[in-house]
């Protein structure tokens, strides 16, 4: 998949790039697999803003992705489609009964190939099987954390996890962040890498493209007044304070994760991995 550049006809076009959509079908999405998606503009069910700088954007429908296909299914890839809700491409597949599904499309998935689900599936790129069947060292995505719950991690464009070891009914996997964690061997995963690997190399070029994505402008705290942000005001650049959020909470390194339920499954956190790498 290539990155498409533009002629510098305007200042915004000079560094703007986009993806090559030659592999993406022009057919309309499956209507039964669409659902309305109301714009929430970063607000929760109480109407309070929980994510700042959100609003506007192009209207879109949600595509219902099948994250836990039925065991023993043989799914034929009909099309590779664009999904406005995620960075990865999605594959329109058809099962033996003629029913349509959407799956996260892997790298090099082609129209007409078959995706086999279950413990008896051959060890080939794109097939879905339990971790107990996947060879050590393999790359995989769409990984379950709890058996039967459906894929929860490694679903973004170009990412994959690596199976490091198997012991005592658990698989040790290395995630894209560097984190290493245990997952039950009965959980399923897809062999391969998530497609659309050039997604991270696209340069938007203009503010308008960002606004169409539903993301509004972000202003630095130092550019504000003291009434608006703890970093605001002052005659010079230096404030002399530790970095804080607009509400005075510590940021840049302040730990906010408190998930004791899954903490015991993490062998090495992503923070430890980054420290050792540096």
Q: How far apart are CA 259 and CA 257, in angstroms?
A: 6
| CA quadruple 29, 31, 32, 37: dihedral, nearest 10 | 90
Spatial contact of 143 and 154, defined as CB atoms under 8 Å apart: yes
- Backbone torsions φ then ψ of 271, nearest 5 degrees: -70, -45
The pLDDT value given to residue 59:
94
Q: For the whole model, what pTM was predicted? A: 0.86
The pLDDT value given to residue 270:
84
Q: Could you tell me the mean pLDDT of each successive run of 10 residues in the chain, 278 residues long?
A: 88 91 90 92 93 93 93 91 94 91 92 90 91 92 92 94 92 93 94 92 93 94 90 80 87 81 84 71
Q: Which residues pair with 161 in a beta bridge?
A: 140
Which conformational region is residue 107 in: left (phi greater than 0), alpha (psi within -120 to 50 degrees), or beta? beta
Q: Which of 157, 172, 152, 150 has the alpha carbon at shortest distance from 107?
A: 157
Spatial contact of 273 and 179, defined as CB atoms under 8 Å apart: yes
The pLDDT value given to residue 136:
92
> What is the DSSP secondary-structure string of 13-61?
HHS-EEE--TTS--SPPPGGGEEE----TTB-TTS-BSSSSB------E
Q: How far apart are CA 95 and CA 18, in angstroms?
A: 33
3-state helix, strand, coil in the chain (%, to 5): 10, 30, 60
């Amino acid at each position: 998949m290539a990155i498409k550049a533009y002629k510098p006809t305007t200042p915004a076009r000079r560094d703007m790039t986009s993806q090559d959509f030659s592999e993406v079908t022009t057919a309309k999405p499956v209507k039964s697999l669409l659902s309305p998606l109301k714009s929430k503009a970063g607000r929760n069910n109480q109407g309070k803003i929980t994510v700042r700088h959100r609003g506007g954007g192009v209207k879109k429908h949600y595509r219902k992705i099948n994250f836990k296909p039925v065991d023993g299914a043989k799914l034929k890839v009909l099309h590779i489609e664009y999904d406005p809700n995620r960075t990865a491409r999605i594959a329109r597949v058809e099962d033996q009964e003629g029913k349509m599904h959407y799956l996260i499309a892997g790298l090099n998935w082609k129209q007409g190939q078959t995706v086999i689900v279950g413990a008896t599936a051959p060890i080939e790129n794109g097939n879905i099987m339990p971790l107990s069947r996947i060879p050590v060292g393999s790359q995989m995505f769409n990984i379950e954390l709890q058996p039967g719950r459906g894929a929860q991690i490694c679903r973004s464009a170009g990412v994959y996890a690596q199976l490091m070891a198997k012991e005592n009914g658990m698989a040790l996997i290395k995630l894209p962040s560097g984190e290493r964690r245990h997952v039950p061997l009965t959980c399923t995963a897809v062999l391969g890498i998530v497609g659309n690997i050039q997604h991270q190399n696209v340069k938007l070029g203009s503010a308008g493209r960002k606004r169409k994505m539903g993301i509004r402008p972000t202003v630095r705290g130092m550019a504000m007044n003291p009434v608006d942000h703890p970093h605001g005001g002052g005659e010079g650049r230096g404030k002399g304070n530790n970095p804080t959020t607009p509400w005075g909470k510590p940021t840049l390194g302040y730990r906010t994760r408190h998930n004791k339920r899954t903490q015991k499954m993490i062998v090495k956190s992503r923070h430890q991995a980054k420290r050792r790498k540096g």
